[in-house]
Amino acid sequence: MRHVAIFMFPGYGHVNPTLEFSRILVGLGHRVTHVVDERHAAAVAAVGAEAVVYASRRTRLGDGAVTGEDIGALGLHFLRESMEVILPRTMEAFRDDVPDLVLHDLESFFTARTAARAWHRPTAQLFPYVASNEHFSLAQEVFDGATENVQRCIDLLTEHLTARGEEPDAVWSFMANFSDRNLVLLPREFQPRGETFDERFTFVGHSLGSGQPDTGSWVPPADGRPVVLITLGTEVNDHPDFFRACGSAFADAGWHVVMTVGPGNLPAGPPPVAHVEIHEWIAFRTVLPHAAAVVCHAGMSTMLEALYFNTPLVVVTWTPEDRVNGARTEALGLGRTLPGEGLEPARLRGLVEEVAADRDVRRSVTRMRAAMLAAGGPARAALVIEDWLAQAPDPAEARPAGALVGDRR
């Protein structure tokens, strides 16, 4: 039995994709400990893993169009929280229980890499979104225009490192976009410049559980009307105008609408028409087997779950990452995109009907689903991690504390 520690940004789209391979690792006899915001502790416990818990103070992205500077501000806030809250909590919790391997996403680089150096343990990077290498950088796309806040992050980290005797240039390896070992939780076929990613990157297709959908918890309409699932996920759902536009787009009874608006966003009273359901949240896998189309922001988890169930996409974009994923969706023929700002109901309705009826889109979605399944999913991810654990050195053979393990710019 060996021990894995997992550090992820405190968002559902970051933590949830790690849960199924954690379940499998626990089943293989390993220990898995997640360092998570308290909101995710129950989900971690449900897969048999352990949790080191903290209370995150992070903010959300707001209700308007999101710029690179907005993303940069969120990154700066999380870096400070990592320094002031998460790292101290981590070092205390693992003082007498040092893990053999440290897994982390890009946002959690500071805590994960600092702890791994102190423990003389190897690291590997997780990508629950498109990956970065020398030829493609998601960070450059997302932080475009974020000069002020990115520079503040660099200055804060440089100050931290130099105060501990590091050279100023150490900041660049510490902020590396990828490592020598990288696990990408999506198919290579979806990855921009996918052909340029070498053996350092393992693409496992998806991170969804293998259980069958509990279709009994949601029943499709008996009249056979096509179903459209509409969601903005958990991060950018503060858009009441969007949901009202969706109601207008499907005001007639031609479609059955299942809409998730997020916790606290339910309107007062029941929906005005019977063919529109409004939920705070619903398990997508109960609806997707019956859905003809999905309208969503470009959250990778939602998109991959839709593709897993052979459902074409209409991607509504607000953030820089949305625009990257939306462009890839169109380039691969998996659906259509449109901007969230100034959404026109007739345009939305037209795109939903277009992707639902387009045979070429359907074929592209089926091809991507096949690629997702062929890549192995969480089971392959768990076996890759187990192999990394087998290669992890004994503590007595570990590198000196000053060495960054497996990091690249």
CA distance 192 to 194: 5
**134-138, 188-192, 231-235: which has the minimum mean pLDDT?**
231-235
C-alpha 185/C-alpha 323 separation (Å) is 19
- Which neighbouring-strand residues pair with 231? 260, 296
Quick one: CATH architecture of 215-373?
A: 3-Layer(aba) Sandwich (3.40)
pLDDT tens digits for range 61-95: 655 667 778 888 888 999 999 999 999 999 999 99
Q: Mean pLDDT over residues 207-220, rounded?
A: 73
DSSP letter assigned to residue 267: P
The β-bridge relationship of strands 291-296 and 276-279 is unpaired
Give me the CATH topology for the region 3-206+375-408.
Rossmann fold (3.40.50)
Task: Report whether pLDDT(39) > 50.
Answer: yes
Nearest to 394 by CA among 98, 100, 165, 27: 100
Which residues fall within 8 angstroms of residue 219, CB to CB, at 6 or more apart? none
pLDDT tens per residue, range 288-325: 999 999 999 989 999 999 999 999 999 999 888 899 99
Looking at this protein, which amino acid is placed at residue 284?
F
Q: What is the edge-to-edge ordering of all strands in the sheet holding 123-127?
A: 50-54, 31-37, 3-7, 101-104, 123-127, 182-184, 201-203
Least confident window among 76-80, 124-128, 139-143, 153-157:
139-143
Task: Delimit the domains of the chain by residue range.
Answer: 3-206+375-408, 215-373
Strands 407-408 and 178-179: antiparallel
Q: What is the pLDDT of residue 217?
A: 79
Give the pLDDT score at 320: 87
Reported pTM:
0.92
Confidence at residue 406, expressed as pLDDT on a 0 to 100 scale: 37
DSSP string of 63-118? SSPPPHHHHHHHHHHHHHHIIIIIHHHHHHHTTT---SEEEE-GGGHHHHHHHHHH
Over residues 227-237, mean pLDDT:
83
CB 315 within 8 A of CB 337: yes
Same fold, 3-206+375-408 and 215-373: yes
Cα angle, residue 353 at apex, residues 325 and 218 outer, rounded to 5°: 85
Span 39-51, average pLDDT:
97
